[in-house]
Amino acid sequence: MDSSRLVNVVDVEATCWETGVPAGAVSEIIEIGLTVVDLAAGERVGRHRILVRPVRSRVSGFCTELTGLTRAEVDGGVDFATACRVLAREHAAGTRLWASWGDYDRRQFTRQCEAARVRYPFGRRHVNAKAAFTEAHGLRRRPGMAQALAHAGLPLEGRHHRGEDDAWNIAALVLDLADRGAWPSGD
């Protein structure tokens, strides 16, 4: 399969708190959801999930309520460096165009890679799918993913704020943009 027609759609969940970051803690990726989209075939061809064990924070009750991810579940995940190697090795993250809903995911990876001294797993070609959707639909404000799905007449599949499910849903929005001829190349 021609890899230039494939896009990695990525959504991360990170440790979070209802009332602010506890002293000494930082927000860390705890789940990486990745859906592979084949633009030429017009379909989602892979659905993946990597659980990541936090080092400088813990999953709060608020975070579990929001994402469904428990402390025990993510404590059984891989370390961040291993997760980045999996992205590079198994998902061609360094060479394949990738997309996320907004820039949060890209910035979180950048921050965490720098802090952990881990090689950034992605290439330079990134598409902010939220910005592309906003422009394609002539919206004045950038919608959240669930709002965008409703606007496009697409169902929300799975649990919102679960990385694997959000990546799957964002991939549906990417395909909708491609069908409209509004998907940017990311070059």
What pLDDT, in 10s, does the model give residues 96-130?
999 999 999 999 999 999 999 999 999 999 999 99
- Per-residue model confidence (pLDDT) at position 2: 52
SS3 157: coil
What domains can be seen in the chain, in order of their start residue? 3-179 (3.30.420.10)
Residues contacting 139, CB < 8 A, separation 6+ = 133, 151
pLDDT, tens digit only, all 187 positions of the chain: 555 699 999 999 999 999 989 999 999 999 999 999 999 999 999 999 999 999 999 999 999 999 999 999 999 999 999 999 999 999 999 999 999 999 999 999 999 999 999 999 999 999 999 999 999 999 999 999 999 999 999 999 999 999 999 999 999 999 999 999 999 876 5
Residue in this structure with the two tokens 């990745």, named with its chain if needed? 34
Q: Which long-range contacts (CB under 8 A, 24 or more apart) does 16-20 make?
A: 16/60, 16/62, 16/63, 16/66, 17/60, 17/62, 17/63, 18/60, 18/62
Which pTM was predicted?
0.96
Nearest by Cα to 183 from 146, 129, 106, 142: 129
The DSSP symbol for 161 reads: T
Residues 10 and 105: beta-carbon distance below 8 Å: yes
- Per-residue model confidence (pLDDT) at position 3: 55
Residues 79 and 53: beta-carbon distance below 8 Å: yes
Please count the CA atoms within 13 angstroms of the CA of 95 that sit on its side-chain side: 8
- CB-count burial class (<10 Å; 0-12, 13-18, 19+) for 78: middle
